[in-house]
Amino acid sequence: MIGFRAMCRFVIFQAQLFIDFAKEFMSFSESKWLNSTCPHDCPSTCALEVESDEQNQIKRLRGRKKHPYTDGVICGKVANYAKRHHHPDRLTHPLKRVGPKGRGIGAFEKISWSEALDLTVTALKESVETHGLESVWPYFYAGTMGWVQRDGIERLRYVMGYSRQHSTICVGLSDAGWLVGAGEKRGVDAREISETDLLVVWGGNPVNTQINVIHRFQQACRQRGTKLVVIDPYKTDTAKRADLHLRLRPGTDGALACAVMHILFRDGLADWAYLKKYSDDPQGLAEHLQMRTPAWAASITGLSVSEIEQFAELYGSNPRSFLRLGYGFTRSRNGAPNMHAVSCLPIVTGAWQYPGGGALYSNSGMCPFDVSEIKGLDRLDPSKRVLDQSRIGPILCGHPPDLQGGPPIKALFIQNTNPMVVAPETDLVRQGFSRDDLFICVHEQFMTETAEMADVVLPATTFLEHDDCYSAGGHTFFQIAKAVVPPLGECRSNHWVIQELAIRLEAEHQGFLKSEWELIMGMLKKSGYQEKIPLEEKSFEIDLDLGFEKMHFLDGFCHEDRKFHFRADWTYWGQANQEMPTFPDHWEVRDHLSHEKPYRLITPPARWFLNSTFNEMSLSQDRLLSPRAWMHPSDLKQEGLENAGQIKVGNERGEIEISLEANEEVQPGLVVIEGLWANRAFPAAKGVNTLTSADVALPNGGAVFHDTTVWVRAS
Ligand SMILES: Nc1nc2c(c(=O)[nH]1)N[C@H]1C(S)=C(S)[C@@H](COP(=O)(O)OP(=O)(O)OC[C@H]3O[C@@H](n4cnc5c(=O)[nH]c(N)nc54)[C@H](O)[C@@H]3O)O[C@H]1N2
Ligand SMILES: Nc1nc2c(c(=O)[nH]1)N[C@H]1C(S)=C(S)[C@@H](COP(=O)(O)OP(=O)(O)OC[C@H]3O[C@@H](n4cnc5c(=O)[nH]c(N)nc54)[C@H](O)[C@@H]3O)O[C@H]1N2
Ligand code: SF4
Ligand SMILES: [Mo]
């Protein structure tokens, strides 16, 4: 009997296998794989292969195996992109709000595209008639990093003469800190991580934010025993893999860098021949650092003297050392000088001379292309008001210094960003978005918390449905990607919407008359890249690597004197920056700790979100369950919170409620909240950016997301 049952089970199992195989086989025979590029705001800009079937259903996505950088490796978020693309909550029709703001899709009714565009144009015109051109603010960021779909909104802005945007939310501080030393935003080709002896991940968490760095490191580790150092205030998943993790206090990286350089000079580990040839004032730097001792840095960073000595010894004795600089350590009021200080390290050891040596912050400054037609730069009027993106809260609330004597904002047109979640000072952002006299049009893929506040919501295509081109921060490839499938429902690309608005606003520019493909090909031809364009209209790429000599700045750094500048001239961004430290230093301008606010809060990215994108995926919800705050057990004891499941975290800007978890790996005195969760994911519907500040950091603006002091209390 048992034998018979087992046999039946075996037969059924075999039949099932056969059916599965047949299904797979049929789906293979009907489906096709096409090349594409990940559009997200992530340094990896992965080369993708996308499978779709005859019904234009997206089936699978994978990293392109043959791509020299991607090497078949992509993150879990995008490997699952078919789910997001076909998500039941995807917006597929234009909508008009008929109910209260902030109440979800139920407060909207479907309208036609022509009605939606007419409503928007009427509101923009009315705003201009009553309050002038600068009362309209086209607002955007990097939902897609494609140059046409992201930057076309600039063309409309410039042609119309609307208020301009100073894009500060991400790279304001890190860019300034890198540029003041090296002069150009580029660094070592990340493929060289395979050739390094020591990888230093400084203020970044690539396990969460740039998986390819980890892939390269693993290869290097196998091949040559490469060591990993991670510098981060808590034990991230990247730090867990490190040979040495320096758990410093946030905003103290300048002090650590100074002490390391002090040791390098002290112990004869500085390469004087290199320093004399490639830097502006090495003698001055060495003298300045004499007082920046390991003991001095230990008192500022919270690290021990021996940890600092150990790192300096490791760094100094491995000239093939690769510094991978993240953004995290720059999201502080002293973030730019901290970036500058850290970028001085490979100059002192001369690491730049060696394969696998040097530093990479970002390669996105390698742009040999003429983007004037895409951005409409020929129509940029420098006299128009420039508004700080990160200060959208104060701006919408009519804060006079932000309005610079100009009119209030009466109409917002938003593409590619979700400021109700991602911008600092959420209470002010919400107050601004709630204004009855403010018209808001949001072009989105999902009903985000920003879209919920809009009067008109337009459905947007995903990168699989439109053409575009992409540069990368983390590698050297410029990728041009064709759409893989036609748009779902009535979704339309950003470019199409800009064109339709231009027609109705009578905005004239040749850029509005061309397709995405024509704009990209026009740009490549005008920039001397005609011969790189394939005959067939299909996805392709161009490697912009400049060769070893240039990528390592062996022909000099990018200032007039061809030297790296230890003496930072911050006045490039205005005379007001004279107070900033010239030589690398610890600049104590961070948010003040006090008796009332004894903790520092940092709010870095989670693995399962890309900023606030993927909030809508049940995948991310399942993995993380809910937002949570991590604190060291000693702090919980001190606050009497050992048994608290939930706490309140607050400061002068507001208060949030959140689940609490003790975490030994968090530096004492610190609260860590990972991930840009929607406000509604928190018990009191207030998210982390309720607490972060929209203060303008020197020298050129930049959001200070990891520089916030708070109190914590039982909930
Ligand atoms: N999965 C995922 N990937 C992403 C994103 C995402 O949200 N999710 N966001 C994308 C975007 S837009 C960007 S800009 C990048 C950002 O990616 P990263 O460069 O990784 O930068 P951050 O996310 O700001 O912070 C990274 C690390 O910096 C640490 N940190 C914070 N303050 C300090 C400090 O003062 N000193 C030091 N040494 N470390 C500090 C944090 O603890 C965190 O572990 O990632 C991109 N990739
Ligand atoms: N507390 C805290 N706040 C932060 C950060 C942090 O570390 N901590 N990180 C900051 C950083 S580094 C950044 S870059 C910002 C990012 O902030 P955002 O640029 O706002 O990034 P996302 O939250 O991903 O929102 C992008 C939106 O664009 C939409 N989108 C994607 N593709 C398209 C398209 O083709 N067309 C249109 N119309 N829409 C599209 C997506 O659906 C998504 O809702 O957040 C910042 N906010
Ligand atoms: S989000 Fe980043 S790691 Fe993930 S596929 Fe896109 S570029 Fe690659
Ligand atoms: Mo960013």
Mind listing the pLDDT tens digit for each residue in 98-107?
999 999 999 9
Nearest to 188 by CA among 367, 351, 314: 351
What is the 183 CA–ligand 4 centroid distance (Å)?
Answer: 21
Going by CA atoms, what residue is nearest to atom 20 of ligand 1?
204
Is 20 a residue whose pLDDT tops 80? no
Q: What's the mean per-residue pLDDT of the chain?
A: 95
pLDDT higher than 70, residue 322: yes
Identify the CATH number of the domain defined by range 95-171+382-543.
Answer: 3.40.50.740
- Residue 107: what pLDDT? 98
Q: Which atom of ligand 1 is nearest to the CA of 142?
A: 12
Residue nearest to atom 19 of ligand 1 (CA): 326
For position 393, what pLDDT does the model report?
98
Residue 636, pLDDT > 50, answer yes
Quick one: pLDDT band at residue 288, thresholds 50, 70, 90? Answer: very high
Token duo for residue 296: 């001095």
520 CB less than 6 Å from ligand 3? no
SS3 string of 199-216? EEEECCCHHHHCHHHHHH
The pLDDT value given to residue 21? 46
pLDDT at residue 2 greater than cutoff 60: no
Nearest alpha-carbon partner for 325 in 175, 117, 125, 550: 175
Mutate to test the pocket of ligand 2, among 676, 686, 706 (most ligand atoms within 8 A of CB): 676
> Ligand 4: distance of its center to the CA of 40 in Å?
10
Residue 12 pLDDT level (bands cut at 50, 70, 90): low
- Check residue 625 and give its pLDDT: 73
CA 367 to chain centroid:
19
Write out pLDDT tens, residues 362-421: 999 998 999 999 999 999 999 999 999 999 999 999 999 999 999 999 999 999 999 999
Give the mutation target among 238, 706, 707, 709 for probing the ligand 1 site: most ligand atoms within 8 A of CB.
706
Q: Is the pLDDT of residue 28 over 70?
A: no
Q: Is the CB of 324 under 6 A from ligand 3?
A: no
Residue 205 one-letter amino acid: N
Least confident stretch, 29-33, 96-100, 213-217, 527-531: 29-33
pLDDT above 60 (res 623):
no
The predicted-structure confidence for 253-271, as pLDDT tens digits, reads as follows 999 999 999 999 999 999 9
**pLDDT mean over 312-341:** 98
pLDDT at position 15 over 70: no
Is 450 a residue whose pLDDT tops 90?
yes
Q: How confident is the model at residue 161 (pLDDT cuts 50, 70, 90)?
A: very high
* Minimum-distance ligand 1 atom for the alpha carbon of 170: 14
535-581 residue pLDDT tens: 999 999 999 999 999 999 999 999 999 999 999 999 999 999 999 99
Burial (0-12, 13-18, 19+ Cβ within 10 Å), 62:
middle
- 578 Cβ contact list (under 8 Å, min separation 6): 570, 571
Task: Give residue 446's pLDDT.
Answer: 97
Average pLDDT over residues 681-699: 97
* Among 185, 165, 601, 98, residue whose Cα is nearest residue 414: 165
Is the fold of 173-361 the same as that of 599-714?
Answer: no
- pLDDT band for 617, please (50, 70, 90 cuts): confident
Please state the atom number of ligand 1 nearest to the C-alpha of residue 231: 38
Q: Can you tell me which atom of ligand 3 is nearest the CA of 44?
A: 7
Which residues sit with their C-beta closer than 6 Å to ligand 1? 41-42, 170, 202-205, 208-209, 231-234, 236, 250-251, 253, 326-329, 331-332, 602, 604-607, 609-611, 706
Whether the pLDDT of residue 10 is over 90: the answer is no
Predicted confidence (pLDDT) at residue 629 exceeds the cutoff of 70:
yes
pLDDT for 669 beyond 60: yes
CATH topology of domain 599-714: Barwin-like endoglucanases (2.40.40)
* CATH number, domain 173-361: 3.40.228.10
Q: Kindly list the domain boundaries of the chain, sorted by start residue.
A: 95-171+382-543, 173-361, 599-714
